Chains A and B, each alone.
Chain A
Amino acid sequence: MYLTLLCLALLAGGCGKHETLVEIGDRTQELRIGNEGEPASLDPAVATGVPEHNVLVSLFESLVFADGKDLSPRPGAAESWEISPDGIVYTFHLRKNGRWSNGDPVTAQDFVESYHRVLMPSLGSQYSYMLYPLKNAEAFNLGKITNFNEVGVKALDDYTLQLTLHSQTPYLLSMMFQDSWDPVPVAVIKKHGAIDDRTNPWTRPENFVGNGPFVLKEWRINSHILVEKSPTYWDAKKVRLNKIYFDPTEDADTAERMFRSGQLHSDTQPPPSKVAFYRKNKPDLIKVYPYLGTYIYKLNVTRPPLNDKRVRKALAMAIDRNAITETILRAGQEPAYFLTPPDTAGYTCQTKIKEDASAARQLLAEAGYPDGKNFPTVEVLFNTLQTHKAIAEALQQMWKKNLNVNIVLHNEEWKVYLDSLRQTNYFIGRFAWIGDYVDPSTFLDLFTTGSGNNETGWSNAEYDRLCRVAANTGNRAARYDAFQKAEAILMDEMPIMPIYFYTQARLIRPDVHGWYPNVIDDYDFKSIYLVPEKN
């Protein structure tokens, strides 16, 4: 029956070999990329995720932009800047030829109003904390002060923007790669509704105005986003792509098939089994490179037996991280023996977890559970996803083998899982952290007392102090020394158990030129261009 059906369908479809979208794109400089999901919002102040960021990078230009090769800050909307010797005052000189896509000049006042908007309490921007290095920004954002003039943002003239920080922030420029720092066309936003209305329709293609190299043309939910080269962009002649299609395919298998059939130039995060296949059989189509993220297990230190540091350490020492990265993940991930990914802005932690089953057993015995006897029921909580499950299953077996303890696995639907974490209602919880910017603080600040993402019940005064020290000094050596000490404490106290460091796996056709891998996987669309494959 189905055979007949298929034959009919084929007659109807009957097209045979056709030029693929990718081949067409190569001719017309139209890039098609898989974007991992449907962007929730294209308002830089509201957007939070990777799919949003990828599109926003093409639509808006912050003061600086990330060089695709090495992530060094390149002049974006600002053509130059000065930093005061104490590292507190930044003065940016905007380009005179900076234009919004409606032709208006991009002015320093635009930046002031944009930052004002991000920090407005009534907007409820989730990533407003990215602007907290600015003096009084946090206080304003939390409603403690209401006069924005007190915040360290000032337009000295139309093309000079002065930012005043509340303390030294050496990584400030790399923070500016984040969307929260993008300027937005406040006048346009006001035209379409309230400035602090999250649902303001100004990001619709028909209303959209941006200052980036591309401008939004189409946005069909769950279908595609199309951006076109912006003629008003100051550096438009360097932009070689004419169009970029962002395909919102959430399903990794679907995206991989689209890549294989020539519908996408590039696709990130293919299914693990496919990564292994490509690496083995089609290495020219896949790039695997470090990604600024760590996969960890959080340990609830308020619950016995995990309130005992020895138990936590025993658990962390009794696993074979290499087996996990090599057999389960198989996409070049590195085993994580500490929290901050190696070489994050030149920082690599010197304290490592020692994997040693017998020492782990020893520790467990000292904690009162010789050979796992009387070890109470401990649950590993994770949200439902194939990889999380496989890792949990593998760890469970390792603990059983090495420590003779029975750990129960418990999967929950995503939001229920988040809720359990937030309420510290778990024993061991899976967690992953992708750095917001390239600096160790984005990882180490997580576990300070009162950090919203701590969620382990762990609190250590010395650790908090070291993190504060690092935050308040501009001296790189002193900062990194403080980080080393802090991370050593973390690895000794073990409220978290690092498992592996992320890699990004990207399927990418050789016809895509000018693209370089980097640890935050930022696109530099200005440098990307397409060259048809010769064959």
Chain B
Amino acid sequence: MLRFITRRFLETIPVLFIIATATFFMMRLTPGGPFDSEKQVSPEIRARMEAHYGLDKPLFQQYLLQMKHLLQGDLGPSFKYPGRSVNEIIADSFPVSLELGCEALVVALVFGLAAGMVASLKQNSAWDHIPMGLAMIGICVPTFVLGPLLISAFALHLDWFNAAGWYFPRDRVLPALTLGAYYAAYIARLCRGGFLEVLNQDYIRTARAKGAGGAQVLFKHALRGGILPVVSFLGPTVAGVLTGSFVVETIFGIPGLGRFFVTAAFNRDYFMVMGSVLFYACFVMACNLVADVVLVWLNPKMRFE
């Protein structure tokens, strides 16, 4: 297992390199520069600003320079927010996204798994149809609709929460619900499918024949096989959730990292894009690694590989 993990770590190096290279050249090929704005600046001043960040150097030299900085762990300054480095922005905003992501994941996992398991146990009953119907609605209702709806109901009409902001513990509730609901719906559907598959297996019958109760059957015998699809799904999803959601962070005015992934690209904030992409890439690969390790751990047969 340790060798497996080490090997995966080694694999990430060329992958990160490829991603960084691709991102670098993609960014530079994209029309529009970081200093374009509706009020045009004179070419001289633009040139000065570009020189300030070394953007006047030949492209390949810029590439080498950035790679060198990246190797040193320096993601560079942000164009959009002069005075802040990309490292600093990530360090400031990632914990917020991480917290929200974790809360959303708890919501998603608790409700998704519960709904999925109940539905698979009571297949084709109301216990199946109602949660699954809700899950389908959850998938249909995009976050940019659900968020405002929740705010409208619980913040504006009932006045239980703030409409936006990230100051008090109760400010976490609505965003976590909004973000979690969508994934809960996904997980519920995948979980139900996985469990239906497993609950039809002979060894579940064996467990019942042993006198194991419903909970025991479910958690001891069916869980490991049943959540396989959920685990595969969770790999990249967790990475996405923990690094922040643009939509939810925008709707709820949350100072998280998710917004930067989108706005950095819109702002042509080259170093910010590079930094966020690499950060996300590391996260994706780490999460996928964890997911793969969990898959193997769940399934002893795969341990030979």
Contact = CB atoms under 8 A, between A and B. Distances in A.
Contact of B48 (A18, A121, A422): A121
Indicate the size class of the contact surface on chain A. 35 or more
A472 interface: no
B103 to A, nearest CB: 11
Contacts of B130: 1
Contacts of B164: 249, 254, 257-258, 263
A200 interface: yes
A142 B130 CA distance: 70
Nearest to A39: B81
Given A1-B131, A126-B37, A257 B48 contact: no
B261 interface: no
B155 A122 contact: no
Given A40-B81, A452-B41, A13 B173 contact: yes
Contact of A257 (B151, B173, B188): B151
A416 interface: yes
A263 B162 contact: yes
A422 B40 contact: yes
B31 interface: yes
A277 interface: no
B220 interface: no
A431 interface: yes
Interface stretch (A209-217, A220-228, A309-317): A220-228
A249 B166 CA distance: 12
Contacts of B148: 253, 257
A388 B277 CA distance: 31
A455 B40 contact: yes
B170 A419 contact: no
A272 interface: no
A220 B92 contact: yes
B277 to A, nearest CB: 17
B198 to A, nearest CB: 22
A43 interface: yes
A13 B80 CA distance: 37
Nearest to B253: A249
A413 B134 CA distance: 35
A204 B36 contact: no
Nearest to A202: B83
Interface in A61-77: none
Contacts of A419: 31-33, 36
Interface string B144-168: 0000100110111001111111100
B111 A260 contact: no
A17 B40 CA distance: 49
Given A204-B83, A413-B266, A198 B159 contact: no
B159 A122 contact: no
B49 A126 contact: yes
Nearest to B144: A253
Contact of A432 (B38, B170, B253, B267): B38
A199 B159 contact: no
A261 interface: yes
A1 B139 CA distance: 14
B81 A129 contact: no
Interface in A241-291: 247-251, 253-254, 257-258, 260-261, 263
Contact of A17 (B33, B138, B159, B259): B159
Q: Which of A124, A203, A204, A221: most chain B CB closer than 10 A? A: A124
B268 A6 contact: no
A384 B51 CA distance: 30
Contact of B83 (A43, A121, A254): A43
Interface string A1-19: 1100110011011111110
Given A9-B177, A261-B156, A263-B165, A125 B81 contact: no
B49 A124 contact: yes
A12 B173 contact: yes
A431 B177 CA distance: 40
A143 B44 contact: yes
A261 B42 contact: no
A200 B166 CA distance: 28
A409 to B, nearest CB: 19
Contacts of A12: 170, 173
A5 B36 contact: no
Contacts of B42: 129, 142, 452
B166 A223 contact: yes
Contact of A2 (B39, B52, B134, B259): B134
Contacts of A220: 92, 255
A101 interface: no
A201 interface: yes
Nearest to B36: A418
A254 B159 contact: no
Given A13-B161, A204-B83, A221-B84, A124 B92 contact: no
A247 B31 CA distance: 31
B278 interface: no
B112 to A, nearest CB: 9
B287 interface: no
B155 A261 contact: yes
Contacts of B254: 222
Interface of B: 30-33, 35-46, 48-49, 51-52, 77, 80-85, 89, 92-93, 107, 111, 114-115, 130-131, 134-135, 138, 148, 151-152, 154-156, 159-166, 170, 173-174, 177, 181, 184, 188, 249-256, 259, 266-268
6 contacts: A40-B82, A126-B41, A198-B49, A199-B85, A253-B148, A415-B268
| Nearest 5 pairs of A and B residues by beta carbon | A415-B32, A452-B40, A222-B255, A124-B49, A124-B48
Interface of A: 1-2, 5-6, 9-10, 12-18, 21, 38, 40-41, 43, 46, 48, 121-126, 128-129, 141-143, 198-201, 203-204, 220-223, 247-251, 253-254, 257-258, 260-261, 263, 413-416, 418-420, 422, 431-433, 452-453, 455
Given A6-B177, A121-B45, 14 more contacts: A12-B170, A13-B173, A16-B160, A40-B80, A122-B48, A221-B81, A222-B249, A222-B259, A247-B253, A254-B251, A257-B148, A258-B165, A263-B163, A415-B32
